[in-house]
Structure 1
Amino acid sequence: MRKIKGLFYAETVSGSCRIDMRFMLKNNYIIRGAKTSGVLEWTGGQAVNFKSQMKGTKKYLRLIYSVSNHRGERTDLDYKIEIDEVPSNLKKGKILYFLCPESGKRSRTLISAYGEPKFINREYYETKYGLRVYYGCQRTSKNDYHNTRYFDLKRKVERLEAELNEKHRNTHYRGKPTREQNQLAKWKQEMNYHDQERLKIFNAQIKKQFSHW
């Protein structure tokens, strides 16, 4: 693994500072047709000032903050992240994406990890640094993997179902399940698989334990 600013460990999405489009919209940090400003804060004490604009042809998120390297040298950052609007597959409105300030790739989430000062697309870390920002389940042990995936998917299903119920979304469009319903079905199928696999591991552990009695 390539060394960046004295770091040799692998970082995860959940353990990194990240800016998520869903979070920004839900909390009115980004509002269509309006300008907003505020501060984003993380539990580790990091904070970023932001300004967003979604009026006319100007659609962007501007970030203003400072970072310090391992030698204590401070760098002031002030840059814009363009926002792209893509028509929904259901032809109901548009979906907002960040355009990664380094790669230009559409992303719903941008991450600052491994000492990278900017918030960039997760996949671009491998292109730029030869490093991966892992999801939590990718770093779990073999025995914990299915358990972790099951509960990760369970949270996604519950969150999406709550969102659809709140907005009273239709389950079908022109006789076919909507994109959201197809996604739910896929996640539930994966949940069932990981649930069965984690129970197999649990039963094998119990059987092994009793075999020593």
Structure 2
Amino acid sequence: MPKNHTFPTLFDEVLQLNISKLKQWEYLKSGQVRTGTITWSRNGTSTGSISIKVNTYSNQPYIELDYKFREEPRNYKVNLVSIPSNLGKGVIWYFLCPETNKRCRKLYSVSGYFLHRQAFRGCMYESQTKSKTWRQIEKVYGSYFDSEKNYELLYSKHFKKFYNGKPTKRYLKLMKRINEADRFTLSEIEQLFHL
């Protein structure tokens, strides 16, 4: 008797809280208490929202989450920790997962609570579900498939190409991927999909 298919929950498709976004939205400035609402959407349709309160004024900084999961109210705090930046300017913020006690930059909501990815069983990233053949194709032609995304990143508002007069590692890596994409001819790509 054949085994039933199991379709794992994908981290890429669940709601996420991201430290980088909180910093971008100025929730993580030192010595403040700030409230707001985060709303998620996919293809223009709202998929969820959450009220947050970020307290960096307290001796133990935290983010308080207030939302409903399947009509059941949820309200709890997730501690925030910071470490000095290796550049000597400012600090780097992390969530401290209430379940695993691990520092992380993203929290995922799989079972109705926002936790570190290791708190969940049977969850994967989309890239982990791809076949070996597809991963090999992606390795060779991935830069071509991602070329539009790479150009958008290159010309995005806050992308730093140079630091102290030298090209950044991120810029050099991006340019390498763009140049790799440019080496493929249209006929090579067409042959790939006519196999």
Query: Is TM > 0.5 for Structure 1 vs Structure 2?
Result: yes
| Number of the residue aligned with 1:55 | 57
Shift, 1:10, TM fit: 4.4
| Number of the residue aligned with 1:18 | 16
Residue 120 in 1 paired to residue 108 in 2?
Answer: no
- The question of whether the paired residues in 2 share the 8 Å contact of 1:30 and 1:52 is answered with yes
Please give the alpha-carbon distance, in whole angstroms, between the structure 2 residues aligned to 1:86 and 1:154.
33
- The question of whether the paired residues in 2 share the 8 Å contact of 1:10 and 1:134 is answered with no
Shift, 1:94, TM fit: 1.0
Q: TM-score, normalization: structure 2?
A: 0.71
Please give the alpha-carbon distance, in whole angstroms, between the structure 1 residues aligned to 2:129 and 2:149.
12
Shift, 1:48, TM fit: 0.9
- The question of whether the paired residues in 2 share the 8 Å contact of 1:82 and 1:99 is answered with yes
The size of the alignment, in residue pairs, is 180
Structure 2: gaps of 5 or more residues: none
Query: Among 124, 127, 141, which residue is 1:132 paired with?
Result: 124
For 1:1-213, what aligned pairs fall within 5 Å after superposition? 8=7, 10-13=9-12, 15-43=13-41, 44-68=46-70, 74-113=71-110, 116-122=111-117, 124=118, 128-134=120-126, 146=142, 147-159=144-156, 162-164=158-160, 171-172=163-164, 181-193=168-180, 195=181, 199=184, 202-206=186-190
C-alpha RMSD over aligned residues = 3.6
Structure with more of its chain in helix, by fraction: 1
SS of alignment partner, residue 103 of structure 1:
coil
- The question of whether the paired residues in 1 share the 8 Å contact of 2:11 and 2:108 is answered with no
Shift, 1:207, TM fit: 5.8
Runs of 4+ in structure 1 deviating by more than 6 angstroms, as ranges, are none
- The question of whether the paired residues in 1 share the 8 Å contact of 2:27 and 2:54 is answered with yes
Give the counterpart letter for 2:25 in structure 1.
N
Structure with more of its chain in strand, by fraction: 2
Distance 1:107 1:196, change over 3 A: farther
CA distances 1:128-185 after superposition (whole Å, capped 9, x unpaired) = 31321336x97595667614444444444444x72548xxxx714xx9x69xx23333
SS of alignment partner, residue 40 of structure 1:
strand
Shift, 1:93, TM fit: 1.4
| Number of the residue aligned with 1:71 | none
Shift, 1:32, TM fit: 1.8
Give the counterpart letter for 1:34 in structure 2.
Q
SS of alignment partner, residue 124 of structure 2:
coil
Please give the alpha-carbon distance, in whole angstroms, between the structure 2 residues aligned to 1:12 and 1:139.
14
- The question of whether the paired residues in 1 share the 8 Å contact of 2:11 and 2:123 is answered with no
